[in-house]
Amino acid sequence: MNLTGIWPAMVTPFTENQRINEDAIQKLTNYLIEAGVHGLFALGTNGEFHMLDRDEKLAVAKEIIQTANGRVPVMVGTGGNSTKEVIELSRDMEALGADALSIITPYFVAPDQTDLAVHYETIASAVTIPVMLYNIPSKTGMSIEAETVARLAKHPNILGIKDSSGNFDNIQAYIEATKNEEFAVFAGTDSLILQTLRAGGQGAVAATANVLPDKVLAIYEGFQNNDEQQAEEAQSSLQPLRETFVLGAIPSSLKKAVELAGIPAGPPRLPVTEAKGEVLQKIENMMQGYNLHTR
């Protein structure tokens, strides 16, 4: 599998009564594919995987996979604390037709780096589709060290890593540690997309692409075409949207932006509440600055 390009970190649309909104999932999936994204990343942090039960995860993945219908690959998050549980869910996602798996580090528990490597190797050996490691220490309380990534990159079924540490030095360390392997390093922090590509990374899993796929794609395309001005302008254009992410718990601001752009993303799952009042006004003002056409 060729892991490259821009993969939106899809939100999971809900109805007002907190149920999965299948129609909105279809609409978002089609919109992103028609925009030209290289793949879809489902059930990540912005997809509220940690708020969904097993059946809901399978339902969301099934809807996206069926709607995509092979037009682009679909990567699905199956991470968890228990290696056994992750394997069971991963095999179910593979049976549904997922093209790849994203597996976040365990959270709440804190395995050492040897335990972590065994966790990933055991999972990757239990499925036949590719695995992308997912590092987000601010949410999990632990980080995958570069030496561990170098070990895991040698596994034939582990093909990449998404780094959402926000630390470019970390991304550089991953690139250097895996330079002799067929291994993709993706930016998971949207402000570092262009910097990651310049350093030798292969792409990004981008939350902003839910709202601004054209601009995120322009970063990648500008870099590929040696159009530095296009790439830099597109990278800078993401900042107003990114600045609203800190106005509420993930993904309340992003889901409101998606909704204002024309796709009924609905509220986050409780206890996170939707953006209201002054926060909502700031998001609305930001969206007006992009002058988007309603989808």
Contact (CB, 8 A) for 94 and 128:
yes
Q: How far apart are CA 12 and CA 109, in angstroms?
A: 26
pLDDT at 228: 96
Whether residue 131 is predicted with pLDDT greater than 90 in this model: the reply is yes
Which token pair is 236?
């800078």
Across the range 46-66, mean pLDDT stands at 97
In this predicted model, which residue has the larger pLDDT, 293 or 16? Answer: 16
How many Cα atoms within 13 Å fall on the side-chain side of residue 76? 27
Which token pair is 199?
């350093």
Type of residue at 80: G
**203-230, pLDDT tens digit by residue?**
999 999 999 999 999 999 999 999 999 9
Tokens 């069926």, residue located: 66
**pTM for this entry:** 0.95
Whether residue 295 is predicted with pLDDT greater than 60 in this model: the reply is no
pLDDT at 110: 85
Catalogue the active-site residues. Answer: 134, 162
Which stretches of the chain are assigned E, i.e. beta strand? Answer: 5-8, 40-42, 74-77, 100-104, 131-135, 158-163, 184-187, 203-206
Q: How far apart are CA 191 and CA 234, in angstroms?
A: 11
**282-292, pLDDT tens digit by residue?**
999 999 999 77
Please list, in sequence order, all residues whose beta carbon lies within 8 angstroms of the beta carbon of residue 281, skipping any fewer than 6 positions away.
none
**180-202, pLDDT tens digit by residue?**
999 999 999 999 999 999 999 99
Q: How far apart are CA 255 and CA 265, in angstroms?
A: 6
β-strand pairing of 203-206 with 158-163: unpaired
Q: How far apart are CA 173 and CA 262, in angstroms?
A: 39
Which is nearest to 162 in space by CA: 202, 117, 106, 108? Answer: 202
